[in-house]
Amino acid sequence: MKARGVTVEDLEYGLGILAQVLDTQGDAVWPLFERLERELTGMQDRRERVEKHLRRKSPANNREENKSKASLKQAC
């Protein structure tokens, strides 16, 4: 069976559990909490960076749109 990757939801769930442990049991799990926070921030930052470029009007993003317009003109 192929292992699936860790998701944002997985990290948020883990952080919620660790927050409860920190609140009730002390700081023993603090390094793990910090690690999961860094991983979550990294995943969110990567996604935001990709989305920023998908929203931009760039030649690469417009290439498919231009191909569609050219096909439409040829069909007419």
CA angle (47 as vertex; 42, 51 as ends), nearest 5: 150
- pLDDT tens digits, residue range 28-54? 999 999 999 999 999 999 999 999 989
Q: What is the dihedral of CA 14, 18, 19, 20, to 10 degrees?
A: 110
pLDDT at 7 over 80: yes
Record the pTM: 0.66
